[in-house]
Amino acid sequence: MLLSSSPAKDPIPPRGGVGLKAEHYRTIIETRPDTGFFEVHAENYMGAGGPPHRYLSTIREQYPLSLHGVGLSIGADRPLDKDHLQRLKQLIERYDPGLFSEHLAWSSHDTGFFNDLLPVPYTSEALTRVAEHIDQVQSFLRRQMLLENPSTYLAFAESTYSEIDFIAEVVRRTGCGLLLDVNNVHVASTNQLWDPNAYIDAYPLAHVQEIHLAGYTREADDNGQPLLIDTHDRPVDEIVWNLFTHTVSLIGPVPTLIEWDANVPSWPTLKAEAERAEAAMLAARSGEKRYAAAR
C-alpha cells in the first residue's frame, strides 16, 4: 500500500496541458504562454544532464509538471527493474512533479525490451502481479502512482475480469490513482465493439486524477472492419471530444493533457487543442457533478 508522503509543491491545476516537446522549448521559455501544465515522458530525462535538463529545469520553474512513465512494465511477468526505479526516483526528487503515471501494460521479457506497450490478460494471476508491482513502486517512490487504461485491439480468451473490474480491483488493493485516457477508450471500444459511453459510466471515476486526449489513425482489419491505431500524431477526433465532454460532465474539471507525440505541430496548434479542453471543462462546471474525484 501507499506510504505517506508530502504533497508536491505545485499540484496540477484542473486545466488543459500539453506534452513538452523539444521543438517548443524556446517558444515556451521566451513567451511564457498561459498553459495549465506540461507533461514529460520520464525516460526522456533519465540522463544526468545536458540541454534537455537545462530546458526542463527552466520550464519547471514556471509551470507545474506531470511525469508520465512508459518503461516500468507494470504488467510484466518478471520483477521490476530496480535500476529503472532508482532513476525514476531521482527524477521525481529533482523535479517534484504534481502527478506521476504509468501504463497498465508490459514491455519487457527476460533480457528483451519491446518498443510497444503490450496488453495484460485480466486474470487473477495478472491482478496479483500488477498490484504487487504498483505497491513496490509506490513504496519505493513514497508517492501515489496513477495507472492508465490501455488502448487494446483484441481481448485475451483467458481473461476472467472485465477491464473496468480489473482496474477497479487494482485501485482497491493498492490505493493508486487513475489516469483516464479517453482516446484509448474510444480506440478499444471501436476495435472490440464496446459502448464507450457505458464504459465511462461504469469506470471508477472517483479515482481519476488526470485525463489524456490524443489522435488516432483509422485503418481496417482483414475483414474490412474498422481498426483504430493509437498513434498520437494528429488532432483529437470529434468523437473523442464528445466522449471527453461526457466524462467531465460526470466528474467535473481535471488536469487534461493533449498527447501529440509524432508529426508534432507548431506551438499555436498544440496550445489550441489544450484551450479546447479547457473550454469543455469550463462548460462542465455549470452541470451537475455526480462524482467527487479523489484528489
Amino acid at 108: S
Q: How far is CA 98 from CA 6, 92, 185, in A?
A: 11, 10, 24
Distance separating alpha carbons of residues 227 and 154, to the nearest angstrom:
10
Q: Tens digit of pLDDT for each residue in 76-122?
A: 888 999 999 999 999 999 999 999 999 998 564 445 444 456 788 89
Q: How far is CA 281 from CA 22, 126, 141, in A?
A: 28, 35, 31
Q: What is the pTM of this model?
A: 0.91
Amino acid at 70: V
Topology of domain 16-285, per CATH?
TIM Barrel (3.20.20)
Q: Tens digit of pLDDT for each residue in 174-217?
A: 999 999 999 999 999 999 999 999 999 999 999 999 999 999 99
Cβ-contact 192, 149 below 8 angstroms: no
Q: Which of 6-10, 14-18, 235-239, 255-259 has the lowest mean pLDDT?
A: 6-10
Cβ-contact 130, 78 below 8 angstroms: no
Predicted confidence at residue 108, as pLDDT, reads 45
Q: Tens digit of pLDDT for each residue in 24-41?
A: 999 999 999 999 999 999
Local confidence band at 221 (pLDDT 50, 70, 90 cut-offs): confident
Predicted confidence at residue 106, as pLDDT, reads 53
Domain boundaries, the chain: 16-285
In the block, residue with C-alpha cell 508530502: 6
Instruction: Please indicate whether residue 76 or residue 18 has the higher confidence score (pLDDT).
Output: 18
